[in-house]
Structure 1
Amino acid sequence: MTKAPIFIPKRSLIRRLLLSAGLVMALGLLFPALSLADPPDLEDPDTCVECHEEETDAWRNSPHGQVNSDQMPEAACESCHGAYLEDHPEQGYMQLTIDSSVCEECHTSTFEQWEHTQHQQAGVQCISCHLSHSQQFRLTDEALCSSCHEEETDDIFHMAHTTSEVPCIDCHVSTMIPQGVAVASTGPTSGPAAGPSHDFADVSAMSCIECHRDNVRDEPSSFTDMDWLVKSRLVAQAERVPELASELEATQQANKSLQTWVPVSLGLGLGLGGMLGIVAVLLLAYVSRRGSA
């Protein structure tokens, strides 16, 4: 009986089999690694810009978006919004905290200044004045203050400065702001700048000296130094002349109406009284005749 021939594979075929086995093993190791890959990192704003382009552009031009010495942004998306949720936005809802506690972690001194102020007691949060992504003011300096402080300040100091068209921030912002520069950033900056004190109630003496430098003297002030206050009050009262004139005119019109109605009312009263008197006399005469009869 003849034996079957023994098949001996060639070397090229063996190499192919070994390469195929190696590829299968490599893919087997790769798939678990891909399944355990980290979710997108919010430290890279390109992760968010696909959906939030407008917000990302505002952030890039803000103090938060400026690169620090470590070549990282001062504050990335994750710094304020928290860790990225893998199923966002379909399933992973990212809760946004709107109170000022989000800002406290980085802006410690500013938060402490604000924490015990009338603004904090009134519930005025950081984002009440600042846009969250650009850090710009929501309104211009004066409009921002007057949006809450609508009541007219009628004390002599406020009237004097209002008459001279002195902006609120010239006195109530302790840090001197250069001429033409807004309190909040309005464009790209080279890095985070020292902001003003967020107390806003106290007025620094340096703010007074900045404008009244020529009136500062070494000798004690005399009573005549108060003349400018008296003048300011007179000017403020003079500005009310048109308003007072309108009130006077309205009062005069009312007086004219009263002057017209007084004689008419008096005549009507006398006429009605006379008629009632005649009726009473006739009634008495009629009763007397009936009694005599």
Structure 2
Amino acid sequence: MNKSTRERSIYMTKNKYPPALISGLIVGLLAMFLFTGIVSAAPNTQGDDPPEEILSDNDCVKCHRRVAGDWSPSPHAHAYDDPVFQEQWIGLGSQNTCLACHTTNYISSTGEYETEGVSCKSCHGTVTTNHPDQVVPTIVDTYYCGSCHTTTLSEWRSTGHASSDVDCMDCHNPHSQKPLFDDPDDLCINCHKDSMGDYLNNLHVQQDIGCVDCHALVIPPDVAPEDGIVPTGHGFTISPQTCVACHTDALHAGFTLPGYENGAANANTFHTSTEEEGSTEGAQPLTDTDQASNLTDSQRIQTLETTLASSRVSNLFQGAMIGLVLGGSTAWFVGQNLHGRSNE
């Protein structure tokens, strides 16, 4: 064996496992162990573990007892079985369109729904058995509430609350739908305390009349709308109708009109059939109770406005007469003085 052959044999013996081969084997083994770990950690979709189930409202109640206690007597819980709704709905021919807001998960194409009333899923969506490992989703905001509470949304959008981003849940408990404070006035004061100074000396406060008594007053319409959608008092504005709701006679203004000595109640009188023939001899004044009960809000407002307008005309007339007398007297006096001086 020559020197060259011996050296090559020694090199092959010493480098039986070249470094590149060893490195490749190590990388391969690490990749295999990593892949095995990932596979073992992945969920077994073909094993014995059952698939995740969708929770029902009854499942929610088992854990969330306090929330369920708030919700159970609420308008949402009884949105379907409420007697007023049922009477109105039947009167409309049991239209399916009403069920979009008075049931949960209503399907318009089939007329089917999941549950009566507005339940958990209406606001939280579908919740599965992986809860509570995941936060329960909430799909509620003011405009979502307004998709059913259309009148309330319309009233709210015109207020300072809307422009200040004060939304439904800033004032209402979403489960009971009640104000966040037991006394609704405390809810108002909680934000408006800096502007309460002048109001605290107001006669209304001294008579125990609170914020919501005027700013959230709901006056039912003279004729109930067929769809049952009426004002909800979320405009927070005070209109003439608000004042008339308490101040039903014009005597509060401190003056009366001829024929209106008993206040706005005298605006309405009962006329016999002789009036239809052009005669008012048979006119019979109603009692104060009958007059007040027969007046509509618009009639009361018109009476008060007429009284106020008449007072302004009367004051203007009195001022004009006084002005004429004073002006005439002054002119006569000046004329007499000028005439006397000219004679001198």
TM, length-normalised to structure 1 = 0.50
Correspondence for 2:249: 214
1:148 has 2:191 as partner: yes
1:198 has 2:234 as partner: yes
Correspondence for 2:78: 66
For residues 140 and 232 of structure 2, the distance between their equivalents in structure 1, rounded to whole angstroms, comes to 22
2:79 and 2:118 in contact (8 A); partners too: no
Gaps (5+ residues) in structure 2? Answer: 1-45, 82-98, 104-114, 221-227, 251-262, 265-302, 315-344
1:171 has 2:214 as partner: yes
Distance of aligned partners of 1:86 and 1:105 in 2 relative to their CA distance in 1, 3 Å threshold: farther
1:79 has 2:111 as partner: no
TM, length-normalised to structure 2 = 0.43
For residues 67 and 146 of structure 2, the distance between their equivalents in structure 1, rounded to whole angstroms, comes to 21
2:52 and 2:130 in contact (8 A); partners too: no
The structural deviation recorded for 1:98 is 5.9
Distance of aligned partners of 1:35 and 1:104 in 2 relative to their CA distance in 1, 3 Å threshold: farther
For residues 187 and 75 of structure 2, the distance between their equivalents in structure 1, rounded to whole angstroms, comes to 21
| CA RMSD across the alignment | 3.6
The structural deviation recorded for 1:63 is 0.9
1:96 has 2:138 as partner: yes
The structural deviation recorded for 1:195 is 6.4
Distance of aligned partners of 1:86 and 1:99 in 2 relative to their CA distance in 1, 3 Å threshold: same
2:52 and 2:129 in contact (8 A); partners too: no
For residues 125 and 67 of structure 1, the distance between their equivalents in structure 2, rounded to whole angstroms, comes to 22
Correspondence for 1:180: none
Q: Tell me which of the two structures has the higher relative contact order, counting C-alpha pairs closer than 8 angstroms and 6 or more residues apart.
A: 1
Give the percent of matched residue pairs that are identical in Structure 1 and Structure 2.
Answer: 28
For residues 229 and 178 of structure 2, the distance between their equivalents in structure 1, rounded to whole angstroms, comes to 13
SS in 2 for 1:196: coil
1:45 and 1:76 in contact (8 A); partners too: yes
For residues 176 and 120 of structure 1, the distance between their equivalents in structure 2, rounded to whole angstroms, comes to 22
Aligned equivalent of 2:179, options 131, 137, 142? 137
Aligned equivalent of 2:60, options 44, 48, 56? 48
Kindly report structure 1 stretches of 4+ aligned residues shifted beyond 6 Å: 34-38
Aligned equivalent of 1:57, options 69, 74, 84? 69
The structural deviation recorded for 1:114 is 1.2
Correspondence for 1:39: 53
For residues 173 and 159 of structure 1, the distance between their equivalents in structure 2, rounded to whole angstroms, comes to 18
For residues 89 and 155 of structure 1, the distance between their equivalents in structure 2, rounded to whole angstroms, comes to 48
2:219 and 2:231 in contact (8 A); partners too: no
Distance of aligned partners of 1:40 and 1:193 in 2 relative to their CA distance in 1, 3 Å threshold: farther
SS in 2 for 1:79: helix
1:131 and 1:138 in contact (8 A); partners too: yes
Deviates more, 1:56-65 or 1:81-90: 81-90
SS in 1 for 2:234: coil
Matches within 5 A, 1:99-138: 99-138=141-180
Distance of aligned partners of 1:210 and 1:131 in 2 relative to their CA distance in 1, 3 Å threshold: same
